[in-house]
Structure formats: C-alpha cells, structure tokens
C-alpha cells in the first residue's frame, strides 16, 4: 500500500475545520513534498516529523513522499498537524495498518525525540470534530482535560508517537483523560470589600445592568482598580454558547487553567499600559494568539492609567470596540476573533498622579485637559458612564462592619434589570440598553416625555451637553429605571444618569 489518509482539524480564528492529511509514496528520488497551503510551520513540520519517526524506532521510507492537506483552500496555521502527518506517512509506507484509526481525528505537535507536545486551540478543534460527526479523537496528553470538556466525543491521549504506534499495532491502551476536577469555589474579588465609594459602586451596577462602558476618573487611592476588578462579580454567568466561545479563545491562547472545564465567569483582562498592539488585539506567527481584547470577550477589559497607553494601542482598540470582533490580517488569510467586551477605563486627572488638591501637583489646567484628551477620539466617545471619584481613606475603603452589600445581592438586581431590557428591545434585536441606537431612543414609542428630559434639553440648548451625550444619558436613565423595576425612566432617573455622565451632583 502506498497511500493513506488521516483526519485532523485546522483552526481559522476559533472555528475548526476538518482536514484530511493524505500521504502518497511513490518511486523516484527520495523527497518530501507538502501541498495544501501550508504556512512556514508546516514546512518545519517536515523536519520534525522525520526526526520523530526515526527517533521512535520506525523506518523512514526512502521514497518520494507527497503529503496533501485538504481542503487545499483552507489556510492552515500551527503545528497541530504533525502527529497526523507522521501517522499518514507510516500508513502509506505500509509500516502501520491504519484501520484502528479510521474516522479518528488525530491532533498534536511532535518533538524531535518523538514526544507529543500540547498544542493551542484543542478545545475548538475537538468541538469542530464533534460537530462534523467524529466520535473519537486522539490528543496530546497535555490537552486531554480540555478535549474532554466537549460532550459526545471519546477522548484518548498520547505522550509519544511510539505509544500511538503501539496502540495501532498491538492494541496497547492509550491514556485516558483525567477525571473531572470539581469547580473551585469562586474566589474572585467581591464588592463586599468596597465601602465608602457609593458613586463608584453605583456606576459599576449601572454599567453591569446596561452593558455600558465605564470611565473611572480620579486620583490615586480612589479605589479605581478595586472597583474595576469587581465588575465581573456582578455580571451574569456565561450561558452555554458564550462559555464555549470564551473557553475556546483561552484555549487558542494557550491560557486555559488546568483541569478542563468551561469558563463560566465573565473574564477579566487588565493589560499594562506598556502593552504592545499585538498583545492587545492579537497576532504573532503561526496560529494567531488572541489579544487581551479577545480574552476579555464576554467579560471586562480594564485599561488602568488609560492615557499612558500608546496612541497606536488606543487606536487599535477602536475596531474591536466598534464591531465586537477583531480582524487580524496575516499572510495566508485573515483571522477573525470575537471581541465583545465591556471596557472599564481608569485615569488620573493629571500626568503627575498626585492626589487631588496635593500642593505638589503643578500641572496646569491645560496639561490636565491634554492628558485626558488623549482618550477622547477612540475611547471616551464610546463610554456612557464617566464618574469622578474622590480619594477614600484606606480604612474607609476596606469595609469591616459587614453591612456593605456583597456582589451576589447586586448581581441579582443586574440580572433582573437585564431581563427587563432584553424584553423591551427584543423587537429591535438588542439585549442591552447600551446597544440601542440613539434614534430609537428619541422616537416614539420610546421617546421620553418633555417633563422628564427638561434639564437635559436645557443643557443641550446651552451647549454643555452634546447630542451624543444626550443619548448616553437617556440610555443610562433606562438602565436606572430597569434596576428599580419601573417601566419607564422618570425625571429623577434622568438626573442620576446625568450625574453618572458628568460626575456632577445635581
């Protein structure tokens, strides 16, 4: 026999596609030819596979070897094809009878010594295999737990090419995935720890309920980071589809926690202000790594000291924040990763970052304005909630008396408010108040009566509020009414929303 075929999966973004690896061996000058749009890593695969086969004690066929990866039109990135290539090659040369691997998807990178190394993205690969009707997969032992998350597929693992060969030849058992590790108790930070920051807590609750982006402005010591870290704790758990998406993205990034389970909590990402553009939005050679904005998909992206991020970095965030996904253009085909995230941005009022009123701050009003101005174009424009926080003494911030509301209580209100909004906007195809376009808010049947918006219109006329700002206040007013369990915002809701927009008490 001089032809063999093995199944594998290629990833484009987080979507897996079944790939057939064909090996054909013919007479002629010994050589290895790979076709089917391979990237650089695939060419390197040739050398890895050869060394792994020989170092596993198998005979390398000294013939002309043609390897073909189908469909040819599918861009193929990464090293997960190694094990399938080696298996097809040994099958084609007659060394290995491949009947036991019929219909089995085989994933894994090979080391030169024949060890099978873990690869990124196994979870979405196995999900794609399951969807294509594949019932059995063989994965690297380091990926066994995450592969086993996908229901309906029998997962077995290998640590070496030799083990796979022994399985095929003699039926030596493969490695079973580890038993389920129970979910650890949710040890994330809780709002019960934050006292004395009423405006900040309220801003967070409104943001969570309406899906609004938030800017927290204030001097060091105002508890901005403490608040931001607690936003995920009041967001609803991810439903099945969202959990699968989020877990797949972390799998592709190689960042899944050990144990193998779906990520159910909204993720939290806090890139440092020195972060590079690729680390923020994704990139790299081979299978592109999702950046922070995609790792925060369905969760929270926290940009601390936001004005310190480079102009390029802030600019790069514009596309994902607008479209909820990021397109990475790369040789061999574009990659799209989801990036629907809620942004919390924190900024000091001035570059010297001295507490408010500190006599040592010599920043002029112009310097202060310029500093925050760096955020204006790409980011600040998209943010509904903008609050100015005052410093709180540490003793006040760290609650001890226990009568501060914990996250669970706030989260219950958030869920109820989100349900009300989703029901109201169902006809528009929107679920969150932050997603509803301005014109819908300004037209019947959702236009608010003049007596409710009287202050707002006054500000619009005097020029102290932009048309866009007007819409943002209205959106938040709806969220505040939803949190209160009322059908429509009243004048007080609009007032509070204005305060959450401008930071001014009214």
The residue (of 129 and 361) whose beta carbon lies closer to Zn ion is 361
Q: Is 80 exposed, middle or buried (0-12, 13-18, 19+ CB in 10 A)?
A: buried
Nearer Cβ to Zn ion, position 363 or 398?
A: 363
Task: Please state the closest distance from residue 281 (CB atom) to Zn ion, in A.
Answer: 31
Nearest distance, CB of residue 368 and Zn ion, angstroms? 7
CB of 199 to Zn ion, least distance (A): 22
Other CB atoms within 10 Å distance of the CB of residue 186: 13
d(Cα 154, Cα 177) in Å, to the nearest integer? 10
Q: Which residues pair with 386 in a beta bridge?
A: 215
Give the C-alpha separation, 127 to 251, whole Å.
Answer: 12
Whole-number Å distance between alpha carbons of 342 and 472: 15
Query: Of the two residues 219 and 266, which places its CB atom closer to Zn ion in the complex?
Result: 219
Q: Which is nearer to Zn ion, 345 or 361 (CB)?
A: 361
Contact 417, 483 (CB under 8 A): yes
- In 3D space, the residue among 116, 180, 167, 164 whose CA is nearest the CA of residue 142 turns out to be 116
**352/415 with CB nearer Zn ion:** 352
Which structure tokens are listed for 192? Answer: 């019960």
- What burial class does residue 263 get, using C-beta atoms within 10 Å of its C-beta: 0-12 exposed, 13-18 middle, 19+ buried? buried
CB of 471 to Zn ion, least distance (A): 33
Closest separation between CB of residue 307 and Zn ion, Å?
12
- Distance of closest approach, residue 476 Cβ to Zn ion, in angstroms: 30
Question: How far is residue 156 CA from its own chain's centroid?
Answer: 28
Residues 14 and 245 sit within 8 Å (Cβ to Cβ): yes
Tell me how far, at minimum, the Cβ of 371 lies from Zn ion, in Å. 9
Q: Min. distance of Cβ 362 from Zn ion in angstroms?
A: 6
**CA 319/CA 315 separation, integer angstroms:** 8
- Closest CB 352 distance from Zn ion, rounded Å: 3
Q: How far apart are CB 355 and Zn ion at their closest, in Å?
A: 10
The sign one gets for the Cα dihedral 444, 450, 451, 457 is: positive
**Six-digit token string for 404:** 């501060």
SS (H, E, C) 373-388: HCCCCCCHHHCCEEEE
Q: Which of 258, 245, 204, 248 is nearest to 227 (CA)?
A: 204
Does residue 229 contact residue 189 with C-beta atoms inside 8 Å?
Answer: yes
User: Minimal distance in Å, beta carbon 374 to Zn ion?
Assistant: 15
Place of tokens 């594998």: 8
In this structure, the number of other CB atoms found within 10 A of the CB of residue 288 comes to 26
Shortest distance in whole angstroms from residue 359 CB to Zn ion: 11
Question: Which residue lies nearer to Zn ion by CB, 352 or 404?
Answer: 352
User: Do 211 and 256 form a contact (C-beta atoms < 8 A)?
Assistant: no
Residue ranges in contact with Zn ion by CB under 5 A: 350, 352, 361, 363
Torsion-angle region of 211 (φ positive above 0: left; ψ -120 to 50: alpha; else: beta): left
Smallest separation, CB 216 to Zn ion (Å): 18
The whole-angstrom separation of Cα 193 and Cα 409 is 14
CB of 254 or CB of 351, closer to Zn ion: 351
Backbone angles phi, psi at 307, to 5 degrees: -65, -15
Q: Between 357 and 445, whose beta carbon lies closer to Zn ion?
A: 357
Determine if the peptide bond prior to 3 is cis (ω within 30°). no
Nearer to Zn ion, 368 or 430 (CB): 368
- Closer residue to Zn ion in complex, CB, 199/361: 361
Q: Which CB atom, from 187 or from 365, has the smaller least distance to Zn ion? A: 365
Specify the residue, 214 or 361, whose C-beta has the smaller distance to Zn ion. 361
- Give the gyration radius of the chain's Cα atoms: 28
Do residues 23 and 85 make contact, with C-beta atoms less than 8 angstroms apart? yes
Instruction: Please report, for residues 206, 430, 433, 481, the alpha-carbon distance to residue 426 in angstroms, rounded to integers and kept in the order given.
Output: 20, 6, 11, 18
- Structure token digits, residue 2: 């001089």
Whose Cβ is closer to Zn ion: residue 350's or residue 476's? 350
């Amino acid at each position: 026999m001089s032809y063999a075929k093995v199944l594998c999966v290629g990833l484009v973004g987080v979507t897996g596609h079944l790939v057939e690896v064909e090996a054909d061996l013919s007479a002629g000058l010994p050589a290895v030819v790979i076709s089917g749009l391979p990237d650089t890593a695939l060419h390197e695969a040739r050398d890895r596979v050869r060394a792994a086969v020989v170092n596993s004690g198998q005979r390398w066929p000294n013939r002309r070897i043609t390897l073909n990866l189908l469909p040819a039109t599918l861009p193929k990135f990464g090293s997960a094809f190694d094990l399938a290539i080696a298996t097809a090659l040994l099958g084609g040369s007659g060394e290995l009878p491949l009947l036991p691997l019929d219909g089995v998807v085989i994933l894994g990178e090979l080391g030169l010594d024949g060890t099978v190394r873990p690869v990124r993205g196994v979870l979405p690969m196995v999900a794609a295999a399951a969807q294509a009707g594949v019932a059995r997969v063989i994965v690297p032992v380091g990926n066994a737990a995450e592969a086993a998350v996908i229901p309906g597929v029998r997962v077995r693992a290998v640590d070496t090419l030799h083990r796979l060969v022994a399985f095929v030849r003699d039926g030596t058992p493969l490695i079973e995935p580890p038993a389920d590790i129970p979910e650890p108790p949710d040890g994330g930070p809780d709002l019960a720890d934050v006292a004395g920051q009423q405006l900040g807590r309220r801003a967070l609750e409104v943001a969570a309920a309406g899906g609004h982006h938030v800017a927290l402005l204030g001097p060091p010591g105002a508890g901005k980071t403490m608040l931001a870290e607690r936003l995920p704790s009041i967001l609803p758990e991810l439903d099945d589809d969202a959990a699968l998406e989020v877990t797949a993205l972390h799998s592709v990034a190689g960042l899944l926690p050990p144990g193998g389970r779906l990520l159910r909590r909204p993720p939290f990402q806090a890139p440092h202000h020195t972060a590079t553009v690729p680390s923020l939005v994704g990139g790299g050679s081979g299978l592109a790594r999702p950046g922070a904005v995609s790792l925060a998909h369905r969760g929270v992206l926290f940009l601390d000291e936001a004005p310190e991020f480079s102009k390029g970095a802030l600019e790069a965030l514009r596309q994902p924040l607008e479209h909820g996904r990021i397109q990475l253009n790369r040789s061999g085909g574009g990659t799209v990763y989801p990036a629907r995230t809620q942004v919390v941005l924190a900024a000091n009022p001035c570059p010297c970052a001295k507490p408010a009123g500190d006599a040592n701050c010599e920043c002029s009003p112009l310097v202060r304005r310029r500093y925050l101005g760096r955020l204006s174009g790409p980011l600040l424009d998209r943010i509904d909630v903008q609050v100015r926080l005052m410093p709180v003494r540490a003793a006040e911030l760290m609650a001890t008396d226990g009568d501060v509301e914990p996250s669970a209580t706030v989260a219950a209100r958030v869920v109820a408010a989100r349900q009300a909004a989703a029901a109201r906007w169902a006809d528009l195809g929107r679920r969150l108040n932050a997603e509803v376009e301005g014109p819908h808010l300004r037209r019947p049947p959702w236009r608010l009566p003049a007596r409710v918006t009287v202050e707002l219109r006054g500000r619009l006329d005097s020029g102290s509020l932009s048309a866009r700002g007007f819409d943002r206040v209205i959106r938040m007013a709806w969220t505040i009414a939803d949190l209160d369990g009322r059908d429509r915002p009243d004048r007080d809701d609009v007032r509070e929303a204005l305060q959450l927009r401008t930071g001014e008490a009214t």
